[in-house]
Structure 1
Amino acid sequence: MGITKKEKEFGLKEIFQKVSSFCAYRERSRQEVLDKLYGFGVSPDIADVIISRLIEENFLSEERFVRSYTGGKFRLKNWGRNKIKFTLSGKGISETEIQKALDEQIDEETYRKTLKNLLERKFVQTNEPDLFKKQQKVARFGVSKGYEGELVWEIVREIFTEKSDQFIPEPPESKF
């Protein structure tokens, strides 16, 4: 458990102060804090000690981070479950923690309403005369936001059924 040159230069108290401020600004994952510590040149042994102290002093809570991240990405950015799962797993969060947060933060009715609103807005914004291509573009958008493909297509069909009167061609005028 040797002290690196940067640790001596900054001092452990200063490093802890900087990292605790980093955690106090907004919720952070353990991995984000480790990356910050490694950026300061902190050795893995010292980083573990600092992480433990941050947890003890309630600056760092993985559970709090996951709930905050999940709720925020869904409510503010309208991300679907798949995108939230993918990004959280990339931050080193366990599948059980992710699923627990998704269940707590996102209820099914709100999830479906949010997706329908997103797809309806995309439907209106998409200037595509070909109905098939328009459906593809709207569905692709929903999937890119992280929503489940099956659910996206269910709602796309619903929207296109509701709006189908827009696609019925007018009969040609009679010349007689």
Structure 2
Amino acid sequence: MTTDAAVIQEAQTHALGAKGIVTMLQDVNVVTTDDIEQAGAILEDVKDRYKVLKKRLDEITKPLNQALKSTRGLFAPALNGLAEAESILKTKIGAAKTAIEQRRLDAAQAARRALAEGNAVIAASIEIERPPQDAAGVQFRKVWTFEVVEPERVPRDFMSIDEQKIRAFVSMHKDGAQIPGVRIFQKDVVVSR
């Protein structure tokens, strides 16, 4: 295994080399067929350097990634179990809070009904449960959320286009692809061999 200082030095050397290439290429004009051929040769060299550097990076990071994956695997069952336990408890606490609130509302309504009917003694005897309070490890707060109940009525501003699906559809159907509201076309991309 390489020492950290050696790896840092190696990475810095490669970074300086890459920066030099980028600086040089800023002034290169590619206009003619000959220019394209020369640029292609440079591109091939750049890709070769990239492959060598990527291989070196993988040599260093592969054992680290394997160790990380293995360590995460060791702790995953416990972490997943605790996350599930948290979810179960939050669900049960939330359900209990909702039930308590409903019982409180029902009791208050029964007391009001008894008073309206002139039964003050009965109204006074109705016990209204105290509301759930924050406790150690438990806090209640209100959050705004939503549920889509009629997707066809949701305004367009809240919709998003699935570019990945469109790209897959266009790749499969090519010039036969037609999607309303989408312009499908070919474009040239530079590919180096």
TM-score, shorter chain, exceeding 0.5: no
Q: What TM-score does the superposition give when structure 1 sets the normalisation length?
A: 0.28
Q: What TM-score does the superposition give when structure 2 sets the normalisation length?
A: 0.26
